[in-house]
Amino acid sequence: MNSRRLLRQFAGYTLAVSMLAGCGGAQVELPATPTSTMPAIPTPTSTTPATPTSMSITPATLTPTPTTLVTPTPAPTATPAVQVGQQACTFEAKITQGASTRNVRFNYLLFLPKDYGTDPHKKWPLILFLHGAGETGNDLEMLEKHEIPRIVEQQADFPFITISPQCTYRGCWLNEADALNALLDEVSATYAVDTDRIYLTGLSMGGYGTWYLATKYPERFAAIVPIAGGGDSEKACALKNVPVWAFHGAKDDVVSPKESEEMVNALKACGGDVRFTLYPDAYHDSWTRTYENPELYEWLLKHTLTESPER
Cβ within 8 Å of residue 178, ≥6 positions away: 15, 65, 68, 70, 95, 97
pLDDT (mean) for 85-105 = 87
pLDDT attached to residue 104: 87
pLDDT attached to residue 172: 85
Q: Mean pLDDT for the chain?
A: 81
Residue-wise pLDDT for 172-223, tens only, equals 899 889 999 999 999 999 999 999 999 999 999 999 999 999 999 999 999 9
Label residue 169 exposed, middle or buried (CB < 10 Å: 0-12, 13-18, 19+). exposed
The model's pTM: 0.76
Label residue 92 exposed, middle or buried (CB < 10 Å: 0-12, 13-18, 19+). middle
Residue-wise pLDDT for 32-42, tens only, equals 334 444 444 54
Residue 304 has pLDDT above 60, yes or no: yes
* Percent of the chain whose predicted confidence (pLDDT) is above 70: 73
Domains recognised in the chain with CATH numbers: 86-307 (3.40.50.1820)
pLDDT attached to residue 308: 65
pLDDT attached to residue 45: 45
pLDDT (mean) for 16-22 = 51
Which stretch, 67-71, 102-106, 267-271, has highest mean pLDDT?
A: 267-271
* Cα separation of the two ends of the chain: 33
Confidence label for 83 from pLDDT (cuts 50, 70 and 90): confident
Residue 89 has pLDDT above 90, yes or no: yes
